[in-house]
Amino acid sequence: MATETERMLAGEPYDPSDPALAADRARARDLARRYDATSEAERDRRGRLLRELFDAVGEDPTVQPPVRCDYGYNVAVGDGFFANYGCVLLDSNPIEFGDRCLLGPGVHVYTPTHPIDPEERATGRERAEPVTVGDDVWIGGRAVLNPGVTVGDGAVIASGAVVTRDVPARVVVGGNPARVIREIE
């Protein structure tokens, strides 16, 4: 019989109130609080805490506090990753950022999703879908990436955009829901 963690990671309905998942979220909150309490002069300590919080961390990451995530162990960031202040990564499923990704302030990335049917939603069970961001992507401030989306290499997500479907490589998207505004030459 699969655990709730195994169900969550498989994209199956799971119970987020499961004690093991609650403990994992408490661990991530503790690590995020400790990270947020560091100063810019504590680069080594920040690096250690980020590597303890996230699943994989490339070379020379910058994450401006505060940062929030559900589990942390489902987040992977590539080389030269930069996240400005106040980013939220709800990682009930993998969130992967390629190399040289830039996140503006207040970017939110969501993997959990809830049932549309109200009776099913009332059970408290949810599902999660991965979010994948390619290399050299710039995500403007207050943009939101919804569960299951993939963003192609070199794309730009405009500030405030709400991404509800996959974004091709080398395009600029914006709006709610986000649509292609133009291609990047």
Structure confidence at residue 119 (pLDDT): 97
Structure confidence at residue 30 (pLDDT): 98
Structure confidence at residue 4 (pLDDT): 98
Contact 65, 38 (CB under 8 A): yes
CATH topology of domain 4-183: UDP N-Acetylglucosamine Acyltransferase; domain 1 (2.160.10)
Conformation bin of residue 73: beta by default, left when phi > 0, alpha when psi is -120 to 50: alpha
Q: Of how many residues is the chain composed? A: 185
Instruction: Report the b/e string of 140-156 with b at 16+ CB within 10 A.
Output: bbbbbbbbbbbbbebbb
Structure confidence at residue 1 (pLDDT): 84
Structure confidence at residue 169 (pLDDT): 98
Residue 53 buriedness (CB in 10 A; 0-12 / 13-18 / 19+): buried
β-strands 131-133, 95-97: how paired? Answer: parallel
CA-nearest of 95, 100, 76 to 146 is 95
Residue 77 buriedness (CB in 10 A; 0-12 / 13-18 / 19+): buried
Q: Where are the domains of the chain?
A: 4-183
Distance CA 115, CA 64 (A): 33
Could you give the residue numbers annotated as active site? 114
Structure confidence at residue 55 (pLDDT): 98
Averaged over successive runs of 10 residues, the pLDDT of the chain (185 residues) comes to: 96 97 98 97 96 98 97 98 98 98 98 96 97 98 98 98 98 98 96
Which pTM does this prediction carry? 0.97
